Structure 1
Amino acid sequence: MPSAADAHIAGAETQSIGSADEAVLFDRIAIEFDVAGGKTFRAVEEADLKVAAGEFVAIVGPTGCGKSTLLNAAAGLLKPASGRVSIFGGPIAGLNERAGYLFQQDALMPWKTAVENVAIGLEVAGVRRKDARDQARAWLKRVGLAPFADRYPHMLSGGQRKRVALAQVLIRDPEIILMDEPFGPLDAQTRLIMGDLLLRLWSENRKAVLFVTHDLEEAISLSDRVVIMSAGPAARIIGDFPIPLARPRDIGEIKLDPEFQALHRDIWHILKKEVLKAYPGFADGEAE
């Protein structure tokens, strides 16, 4: 297998102009934050990234490199200092209502049951309460939680809460799904189960996904492409690797595939250097 590093680092440097076939386009965006003393901190520098409709793209990079910042720009929560963000070929005007956002920590309301939490988005959008809750129960069944529909969040395990949160996002049928380390707080076994569940649900309608993770194995297992960000500040996109592994995938088994292992080796060769920059006390070669 040819080295993915040779073929796809340069591909991160240029992207085409936005079109209706591109769910998300970052066109040379820079993102800054105000800091003390009237100064600015540049978190992201001239990032170019395209996510096609129906594509699953994972972003990896060192801690603090701006991965979540890019998600927030796609959600319309942040406005770039320069460059352009487009959604299906058009600009973002305020919040991106075509996207659903799943955070690392769920936003379940503790005084509402699982079914009430899942239904709330539809109710806010004007759907009748009974209809919204009927749809919510159907979604809880799809994520394996039908028997737990009337339980409150404190009565659910971490994995169960995460499935409620996933249903809460997907019930509104967003065209774009933004996911910020959604499985990070879970134990290793539950992460595998959640990964398989996510892929099963995604395969049913293939919405565009932009998925941030620190876990390279998770990124390769789930995605169509893995994008690498450099260490910050002024982080850039420095690598873009297609993941040609066949679908459907078993998250627990695919890591044994020689092609998976070759992809992991090529991506880690680049990512490791950036991770080490985030820990200046480490000499090159001390972290594996």
Structure 2
Amino acid sequence: MPTADAAGRTGGAVALTDISIDFAIGGHATYKAVAPTSLAVAEGEFVAIVGPTGCGKSTLLNVAAGLLKPTTGRVEIFGEPLTGLNLKAGYLFQQDGLMPWKSALDNVAITLEIRGAPRAEAEAAALAWLTTVGLAKFGDRYPHQLSGGQRKRVGLAQVLIREPKILLMDEPFGPLDAQTRQIMGTLLLDLWAVDRKAVLFVTHDLEEAIALSDRVVIMSAGPEASIIGDYPIDLPRPRDAADIRLHPRFHALHKAIWAQLKAEVIKTYDSGRV
């Protein structure tokens, strides 16, 4: 059964406690995007956030990244207050972050070079990561010469080469076709299984959320959105992101979660915000 929220969880990799977020909309008016809500991600845990369009999923992710300061509440990373950028996290956005004038190898290597690594060291590490994501033969290709899935693989290498302890992922596979999304999901799970980083994964795709995660949390329709559902995903690991969807338990979980999520999606639709 789902709990009302994750407020009872403390510590771990990420802890958002009683977080609320207001945005100024002109003059003295504010838009209350997120009402006080709490979410925690344990070390090694893969948590997916789902919810209707505009409910604040990406907003919570930005708070965890240190890109956005909450109006109220507390943010802790591995038990320490977050006071600036979250340097222990790697962030993979929906849109490609690749520099079009650099090759795939250079796009990955520069992540270490800007931190002071010698060129040869950065290049060797970049090639190793491109090999890990299956692109060893594509290091000299430029972004416009790569498919959408290949660009996402470069993006993953670009993030993982820093060896972050936390992965923040905002609809990372959203632009891809359904088959490529499943392939990328399996690649992500294979990479994650190596060292079990904490993952906070935002998606509109409930099937994707269930296939990948240890927990799926639901955000309510905005404004003043909050976490209203928290479902443990008790599917066996290791998983294939495509094959696990055929598991009988997958369908039971989808039915239970969608029953709650559907109501919030309809609220958003009825409000005219989509």
Task: Please confirm whether the aligned pair reaches a TM-score higher than 0.5, indicating the same fold.
Answer: yes
Could you state the TM-score of these two structures normalised by the residue count of structure 2? 0.97
Given the superposition, is the C-alpha separation of residues 130 and 47 from structure 1 closer, same or farther in structure 2, using an over 3 Å criterion?
Answer: same
Q: Distance in 2 between the 1:168 and 1:229 partners?
A: 30
2:24·2:30 contact (CA, 8 Å) conserved in 1?
yes
2:6·2:40 contact (CA, 8 Å) conserved in 1?
no
- Aligned with 1:165 (options 155, 161, 164): 155
Question: Any unmatched runs of 5+ in structure 1?
Answer: 1-6, 283-288
Give the fraction of aligned pairs with identical amino acids, expressed as a percent: 66
Quote how far apart the aligned CAs of 1:58 are: 0.2
2:7·2:40 contact (CA, 8 Å) conserved in 1?
no
SS in 2 for 1:59: strand
SS in 2 for 1:150: coil
Give the match for residue 121 of structure 2. Answer: 131
Is 2:2 aligned against 1:8?
A: yes
Question: Any unmatched runs of 5+ in structure 2?
Answer: none
Report how many aligned residue pairs link the two structures: 272
1:231-273 Cα distance to aligned partner (Å, 9 max, x none): 0011000000000100011111111111000000000000000
1:175·1:207 contact (CA, 8 Å) conserved in 2?
yes
Is 2:145 aligned against 1:149?
A: no
1:254·1:260 contact (CA, 8 Å) conserved in 2?
yes
- Aligned with 1:212 (options 202, 206, 210): 202
2:88·2:164 contact (CA, 8 Å) conserved in 1?
yes
Q: Which amino acid aligns with 1:117?
A: N
- The aligned runs of 1:62-141 (5 Å cut-off) are 62-141=52-131
Q: Distance in 2 between the 1:281 and 1:172 partners?
A: 42
Q: Which amino acid aligns with 2:16?
A: F
1:43·1:235 contact (CA, 8 Å) conserved in 2?
yes
Which 4+ runs in 1 deviate beyond 4 A? none
Is 2:46 aligned against 1:38?
A: no
RMSD over aligned CA atoms reads: 1.1
Q: Which amino acid aligns with 2:110?
A: I
SS in 2 for 1:122: helix
Give the match for residue 171 of structure 2. Answer: 181
1:13·1:238 contact (CA, 8 Å) conserved in 2?
no
Q: Distance in 2 between the 1:118 and 1:14 partners?
A: 37
Given the superposition, is the C-alpha separation of residues 32 and 195 from structure 1 closer, same or farther in structure 2, using an over 3 Å criterion?
Answer: same
Q: Distance in 1 between the 2:105 and 2:196 partners?
A: 25
Quote how far apart the aligned CAs of 1:37 are: 2.9
Q: Distance in 2 between the 1:281 and 1:23 partners?
A: 36
Could you state the TM-score of these two structures normalised by the residue count of structure 1? 0.92
Q: Distance in 2 between the 1:125 and 1:54 partners?
A: 26
1:47·1:237 contact (CA, 8 Å) conserved in 2?
yes
- Aligned with 2:44 (options 29, 54, 65): 54
2:149·2:176 contact (CA, 8 Å) conserved in 1?
yes
Quote how far apart the aligned CAs of 1:38 are: 2.4
Quote how far apart the aligned CAs of 1:281 are: 6.9
1:202-227 Cα distance to aligned partner (Å, 9 max, x none): 00000000000000000000000000
